[in-house]
Amino acid sequence: MLTVFSAGGAPVGGTGKGAAAAAAATALALTVLAPLPAAASTARPPRLSWSPCPANDPVEKTALRGMECATLAVPLDHARPRGRKIRLALTRIRHTSRTFQGVVLLNRGGPGAHARDLPRFVTGNLDKKVAAQYDWIGLDPRGVGGSRPALVCDRTYQDPGRPRAPYVPRSAAEERAWKNRARRFADDCARRYRSILPYMRTVDSARDIDYVRAALRQKKVTYFAYSYGTYLGAVYASMYPHRVRRMVLDSVIRPSAVWYPSNLFQNVVFESRIQSFFAWIARNHRTYKLGRTREAVARSYAKVHRAVTRKPVNGRVGPSELDDVFLTDGYNNRTWPAHARALSDYLVRRDPKPLGKLWHKPTWLDQNNYTVYNAVECRDAAWPRNWARWHRDASRLYREGYRFETWSNTWYNAPCAFWRVPGGPKPAVRNRRGLPPMLLVASTGDAATPYAGALETHRLFPRSRLITQVRGGNHGVTFSGDRCVDKAVAAYLATGALPPSHAGSDLACPAPPPPKAGTVRRERRTGPAEGTPEGEPVATAGR
């Protein structure tokens, strides 16, 4: 479950244990890797025509003010450059320094995350002298946000207009109902976008990036991405090694686990992360009064879960919506104080209002994010088509104690069991001659993209350098308050400077301390990565 933005998921390649690890290893052993696809020959695209972004963008509202906007027609199928075209939407903040180091393409993750607001976020957090040396490009990938067509399928899957059934099915009939809903979502996508879905692979987006590079009249491009965007970057680097100038990949996907195995791993690692949240609440019992031990806090959460099952808050926040809200606490600890306070208000003060305010009805952008998530992941790689396999894996993990995300993640990905376009084969990710050193950033406790993904990518690209945030657990590290990480990233973008090479991680940065109890922050609405950062869609329902 890759996308969050307030609740949702990310692909994983984590260190599973026991039967979960064995199941994922078996799945990986059966995965077929395709040779690197040859770059399709295309005519040189026209130059981009930039103009001031609208004061009130139809998708991003006021977030694009002060930037420049453009659109670019690209082939739907890059193997047929004169065939049907789709349009990509872009934004730009131009360099202001006499020293110009080229363009940086930005990707937030997802798959399915919008990115046109990212140039302002990055330039507002990066060292100003470095930021001034680049043109910063926010690109909404094919199918996303301001790009056209923008894909949205059956909106009732995420928002049926009432509380959804519990993610954990209580009977065969409930599981069958969830499964049928997932099938209807897949069928609706096939009906709406039958001609588009075959061309929603990561490989297609990588070719889009190179098409944008050519339209920008750049021989090489710098690329900066979070989460799923790191997989897209790794695929691009494997396809076009001579087109890469520099590359920063933060919260790194494990290429060998794309995609069904990665979600099994995620279920394991998220359990540990959510238990860390419960342990933090327990250490702050004087503030929240939800229990003095992690186990006691877990029981408090279960009590709230049962209560909203019987009587949803505001008639909308039932057990699945509650899980959606609190899944964000597995992505970023900035939400911990506010979420713990709302839980305490509900259980201790008998006040449901704060809890009700944490859940928001999925927006059009949320629905677009979820649709593209499925369109990409279901197409990228093969998924089990026998529902018995899904049921068996989810049931086993749940019995083994990985309960918080297992069934929600199953339903988030379930449309891939019924997707009308076959998945795979996925491209091989590998080092190629001419590829410059890239910079990888990862947190040892990241549940969305576990640390094993960064280690594997570091091995695949031997000239890369890995910055590790030690004992951190947040998803999306750069520009989140870690000066050690931000300084190293800025140095790399400024001069190409890299940390000295060491076995394993090349630079260790201690994670900032967790938030203090009671310090409820107002979240900004533009942020880097899915899941943690601000501004990403809320992934509800289906997960």
Task: Extract the runs of DSSP E, i.e. beta strands, from 154-296.
Answer: 221-226, 244-250
Q: Which two tokens stand for residue 118?
A: 């990212």
Burial 389-404 (b: 16+ CB within 10 A, else e): ebeebbebbbebebbb
Distance CA 350, CA 178 (A): 32
Residue carrying structure tokens 């019995």: 399
Query: Contact, 478 vs 489, CB < 8 A?
Result: yes
Active site residues: 227, 446, 475
Can you state the angle between helices 260-283 and 406-413, rounded to 10 degrees?
140
- CB-CB contact of 212 with 139 (8 Å): yes
In 3-state terms, what secondary structure has residue 102?
coil
For residue 425, whether the previous peptide bond is cis, meaning omega lies within 30 degrees of 0, is yes
Between CA 496 and CA 102 the distance in angstroms is 13
CA-to-CA dists, residue 471 to 88, 236, 249, 337, 401, angstroms: 39, 30, 19, 19, 23
Distance CA 47, CA 33 (A): 35
Determine the residue type at 270: F
Phi, psi of 338 (to 5 degrees): -65, -40
